Amino acid sequence: MKEKEIICKFKIYGYEELADSDRELVDRAKDATRTSYAPYSEFRVGAAARLSDGTIVTGSNQENAAFPSGTCAERTALFYANAAHPDESVVELAVAAYTNGTFLKAPIPPCGACRQVILGIEERYKRPIRILLFGTEGTYVTDSAKALLPLQFTGESMKE
């Protein structure tokens, strides 16, 4: 038997420590929670993606009574970005969650499906996506989906 350790590294910033452009992206993700349709969970998630031309697009989670027919905020924003701006890569993605009248203290990470989609977009455009996960007690920042998905399934996985 062998054992392997996988370490996920990220930085944690207080809101005021973030660069102006990072605060702008986080604020847009926080604002996007207002467009969430979450009548069942009341867990509202917003995402904001900055494109290579500086455009920011947003998305929010959209629930459906026929669970799991809804979609997450991250995928809503990313799929919209790719549909509306197919020639622009996503360079940064911010995520924020709101429930019970307040934003969460600790950041929420993207679900497994969203992590795989972010990784796929990194592969499509051949560049990493910087990810900011907002929490009132700190924003986690990582330079790529690969840090959130250390065992990756990519197109290369099917060639080996």
Domain boundaries, the chain: 11-137
Mean pLDDT, rounded, for 151-159: 73
Q: What is the CATH number of domain 11-137?
A: 3.40.140.10
List pLDDT tens digits, range 68-123.
789 999 999 999 999 999 999 999 999 999 999 999 999 999 999 999 999 999 99
Q: Which residues are annotated as catalytic?
A: 74
Q: Where is pLDDT greater, at 35 or 155?
A: 35
- Is the pLDDT at 133 greater than 90? The verdict is yes
pTM beyond 0.75, yes or no: yes
Helix, strand, or coil here: 58? strand
Largest CA distance in the chain: 50
